Structure 1
Amino acid sequence: MTSLYNNRRGATHVNLAIAALLAIFFFSTAAKWATTHIAGALIVLGLFAARRDFWLSPPARTYTVVSLMWLLPVISATALQHAQDLVTATLWSEQATLILRILGVGLGILFILHKGWISLRQFTIIVMGCLLIHGLIGIGQWALHPDTGLAAWRTIRIEGIVGNPNPYSFYMALGLVLSAALLHDDSTTKRQRLALWASIAVFMLGIVGSGSRGAVLTATAGIVVLFPPTTPRRIGVYFLTLGSLVVAYLASGWHDIDTYSDGTRVAALRFSLEAISQRPLGGWGFGSYIHIPGHSGINAPHNMLADLALSSGVIAVGAFLLSTALVSYQLLRARTRLTSTLLALLTSAFVAGTLEYSVLSSTHFRGPWMLIVALACYAIGSSRGLNDKTHTARSPRKGVLSS
């Protein structure tokens, strides 16, 4: 009995340590703290304990395939840049960081789930908790701002400890989509629903306070995937909501404030396309935008596809789109609440990436993208394993937090 008790206590300590590690990693990713690198390295080191059963498991194999599908063209482009002695070539240290952040940490998280050191429900609670803390910090910043007021809210643009209103609102949009998915789950209790409604209020205030139009589009994309416009009522609600937002935006005069931002982004995208046409296969290297002669405006394309093509060539972009499409197709095919939730989050992240971020070098974006794709592969692989055992049809009523 003593031995059994000690084993249980040891397992509990491991679970708490893993939960703390994941919380530190995710919370620090949004804040871009150094602890992101430390926690990420520890997650990767855990793979040294992985055995054959993990490496052959469907989630690990699926994630490895869809990740290498676009990472290999990126690595090949880097090799070509160095072979041509390109001044702006990607540093091999940056290339290694990308591989570890995408493939290493993603597989490390899947290994943690595979070992049962933490459940998907516990993982979701950790993510929600981190997002809520970030949201509340930003709202507190907004409330305590000396110029707070209805007339000045758009010029304040809260950012919390994320350090930028756009990434801050991106995390709020992901939190909103996740909360809506959990709220739609039949297994959610009344007490949990109240907590989720409160969470939705926090995330919506965070989006409004950030003043980010991209976050509105990001959240909308995920909500539409969760609740597709398949009935007249939903179609009416979506059209009414869209019309109200457009009218409010035009009547407010905020579009005049955004004109300069839109102009610089269009100029940056136009310059990126010109640079891509000069080196369509090999690209210019990570972060090369500001080093290419003739650039003007902002310091990056602010579009993950343009940035990927500019950095590593159009083949890498095609491979990335194919990888994303395969994951999306498998999520659609599984038809469970869990896979629907992850498809909504993946759609939101994809929209956000095309509006702002770089999957190659943006810490704010690369972490959530990796996490969503890894969990999507976990859901896909788990549903395959379940079907192989039961030989039954997939159930669309399966809970969000069930695997």
Structure 2
Amino acid sequence: MRECSPLSRRALLGLAAAAVPLTATASPASAAGARSAGTAVVGGERLARGGVQVRAAGLPRLTAQAWLVADRDTGEVLASHNAHRRLAPASTLKMLFADTVLPRFERGQRHRVTAADLADIPSGSSLVGIQPGTTYTVEQLWQGVFLRSGNDAVHVLAHMNGGVARTVAEMQARAEHLHALDTHVVSPDGFDHQGQISSAYDLTLFARAGLQNPEFRRYCGTRTADFPAGGKKTFQIQNTDRLLTGAWGLHPYEGLIGVKNGYTSHAGNTFTGAATRDGRTLLVSVLHPAEGSNAVYEQTAALLDWGFGRGRAAQPVGMLVEPGGTGGSRPTVSPVPEGGAAHAATTPPGPSAFRLAEGGAGTAALLGAGAWALLRRRRTRTAAGPAEEAPQPGGRHRR
């Protein structure tokens, strides 16, 4: 792991982790108590605070429930708003799916789709138009994931990976490795399911990790592709990232390189974007703005403009932590799930809600294996909400 700044080191190492009885944080008071007991916050204590966190002037006025802007290379979080607030991620969770599964298959590998591959797609999902009995390359399936946010492509790849349950478990393990401890994975596609949550901070970690893979970067930056329609016929699919393509009345954002958008009736609009100017790459995640479907892109663009402009002088308010860890230590997060006790009662606590005190790393290893196995057995999966993606020109969507 590369040398970390003092702030990053504090956020990463914090404590030598040993498990004490699992305690879900259920109130601001208990969150404060956990911090006073010696827990660390992933990325820095300031990111646990509600509201805007910034050390520079000129931030745009935004309506999103949570957002974050960070430097991809240094990991510095330049500004944030409710960075660790746990919210429904919609298809931005596909970044974690891709980061987990993409390295498993060669892009030229071919797969003949069966009806079983498509049997468990949630009703109302966005679809790229995969047909049973048709053979697709892995590259075409990933184009369906990244460009059209096709849940049919996700489920085919998940079945190729050993099944949906196995893929969900691997995604959760990958999230923990990245220290994305606000994230609770229930399905690989990001569709609305009970308890499926993430945060602006975690989504930014997924984008940062994924963009290290050249294939991930190539797919998320692809604007159009020809997709099989059966036999020798094809149809064109377009990327639903409006800052990339300039669709729906928006202009393409200068220097944009990806990453992933999402929409469900429960999550609203979500987006993580990355752009490069003058050799500097910024990452921005925006979740649940109050306005229509273009607002998530407009607010992302406004944060990128600020980051490339006045944000250059910003002192960091936190850090994007590096994957893995040292000596078995695990960073923890204290923020309570939004919505109060009623929400907490219906949403399984993510790993970020657990407290760890000083002690031996062996017990922490047992926590990872034993406690998570117990939690997974308790999870329920309930699809909810209509179409996962807002309708776009040139693709296939089931309503």
Q: State TM-score, norm by structure 1.
A: 0.29
Structure (1/2) with the larger strand percentage: 2
Structure with higher Rg: it is 1
Structure (1/2) with the larger helix percentage: 1
